[in-house]
Amino acid sequence: MTARYQNYVSGEWTDSETNETFESTDPAAPAEVVAEYPDSSVADANAAVEAAAEAQDDWADTPAPERGAILREAASILADRKAELTELLTREEGKTHAEAGGEVQRAVDIFYYYAEKTRDLGGSVKSASGPRTNLYTVDEPVGVVSLVTPWNYPIAIPAWKLAPALATGNTVAMKPAKVAPGVAVELFEALDEAGLPEGVANVVTGPGSTVGDALVTHEDVDAVSFTGSGKVGHMVYDSATDDGKRVQTELGGKNPTVVSDSADVEEAAEIVAAGAFGVTGQACTACSRAIVHTDVYDEFVDAVVAEAESIEIGPGDEYDMGPQVTESELEGTLDYIGIAEDEGATLETGGGQPDGERFGDGYYVEPTVFSDVENDFRIAQEEVFGPVLAVIEVEDFEDGLETANDVDYGLSASIVTDDHTEAERFVDEVEAGVAKINAKTTGLELHVPFGGFKQSSSETWREQGDAGIDFYTIEKTVYDSF
């Protein structure tokens, strides 16, 4: 039976004023409808913002630990429902059960984390220059925030925006991506069951061109947090900043792993493959470039090809790698594979859609490895967002570092090396917001900042950890000479 979801506005579950709907389908079996959602309008988005604005003062005045108690209860509800949320995420987005379960658990952990952070919210006390003066700061919520979130981490990214926003006393209007909105809407179900006051958090489903734009441009919105494509992100940033709103954007990546001549090649291949082919390559932090020292290049290519060919593809409930999320994403990946071949890269493995009964009409593509890639090839410069790895040969560490930085993006980067000096230089000089040593480019801790350099981010505010709190608060300095 097809699930049916509604918008959540001012504490009520409601259909769109258009009475129109759209459907999500299973990327492993596109003929199967998973759920139905309101195809909302500007009026629906405006209602969500207006509800948030009306609720803002009372929520800001609510003691922070009391706000934390609601987040904690919501986390408990999500934990109790982990199995069904995992299934929903797999059916809408295509992740394997292991990947989907890990993402749901991350959302649970994020809500617990920010629930505890509410106990420490406040400001700081400073020493005044004169007598009989108390000098201190207080942190206040920014106000009404709009959240626009993507499909590739459909519960984790909404959670890491929503939880700190609510913890710090802001009210929220959110639009999840149309492709896989179910688990994001379920976050609001959990908050509703946990006792969140009406209007504090609102979610509206529908197209970015109407709902998303209205949430970004509404005059009552004080801050905007967006994760998605670079093209849309730049438009969001320009529109929000023109209106004087606080804004953060997290966009794409073209993430390298540098493989040193001192590296254990088998270990390096495992690390690169995990970063390149995990979650079907549909992560902004996925490794799409392996930059390999010439002395170990041939050995590495053989090893990473073996890793790719060992991956079993199929529906997420029992295989290693699931489908791409939509037909258009699959077509985009296949287009880039054709472009790479036209540019002169050597296709080592993969490059097409797998054959077999279990694949049906699903949006599957084989894990793909290209060698003989030059760093000016499009396959080495543009985000593919699929399980495609470009292997680039370099003469030495200096060449590798220069190649790693020679892109417009700067989100995540890693190095595999046994040379500590190389590792230290890599951390110091790589142009990326996340730098890893002997680890895959994907995978983030929730209590440390996350964000990119260059075209990967607005470079304004980081997400997660204390940085997540910083974006949603503004400092007031108090001179008390009473």
Measured distance CA(172)–CA(176) in Å, rounded = 13
Nearest alpha-carbon partner for 22 in 227, 235, 211, 186: 211
- Kindly state the DSSP code that residue 62 receives in the 8-state scheme: S
Q: Count CB-CB contacts under 10 A for residue 66.
A: 10
Q: What is the pLDDT along the chain (482 residues), one digit of tens a residue?
A: 689 999 999 999 999 999 999 999 999 999 999 999 999 999 999 999 999 999 999 999 999 999 999 999 999 999 999 999 999 999 999 999 999 999 999 999 999 999 999 999 988 999 999 899 999 999 999 999 999 999 999 999 999 999 999 999 999 999 999 999 999 999 999 999 999 999 999 999 999 999 999 999 999 999 999 999 999 999 999 999 999 999 999 999 999 999 999 999 999 999 999 999 999 999 999 999 999 999 999 999 999 999 999 999 999 888 999 999 999 999 999 999 999 999 999 999 999 999 999 999 999 999 999 999 999 999 999 999 999 999 999 999 999 999 999 999 999 999 999 999 999 999 999 999 999 999 999 999 999 999 999 999 998 899 999 999 999 999 999 999 97
Catalytic residue among 216, 221, 284, 416: 284
Q: What is the pLDDT at residue 318? A: 87
The model carries a pTM of 0.96
Concerning whether 284 is annotated as a catalytic residue, the answer is yes
For position 2, what pLDDT does the model report? 86
Take residue 33 and report the two structure tokens written for it.
Answer: 């409808």
Q: How far apart are CA 271 and CA 267, in angstroms?
A: 6
Domain boundaries, the chain: 3-251+457-480, 255-437
Q: What are phi and psi of 73, to 5 degrees?
A: -65, -40
| 159-186: b (≥16 Cβ within 10 Å) or e | bbbbbbbbbbbbbbbbbbbbbbbbbbbb
C-alpha dihedral (290, 292, 296, 298), degrees to nearest 10 = 60
Predicted local confidence at residue 449, as pLDDT: 96
3-251+457-480 falls under which CATH superfamily?
A: Aldehyde Dehydrogenase; Chain A, domain 1 (3.40.605.10)
Domains 3-251+457-480 and 255-437 in one fold: no
Identify any residues that bridge with 259 across adjacent strands, giving them in sequence order. 292, 416
Report which of 260, 239, 277, 210 is spatially closest to residue 404, judged by C-alpha positions. 260
- Tell me if the domain spanning 255-437 has CATH number 3.40.309.10: yes
Q: State residue 317's pLDDT score.
A: 84
Distance between CA atoms of residues 438 and 299, nearest Å: 18
Which pair of structure tokens corresponds to residue 225? 């947090």
pLDDT at site 204: 98
The predicted structure's pLDDT at residue 482:
78
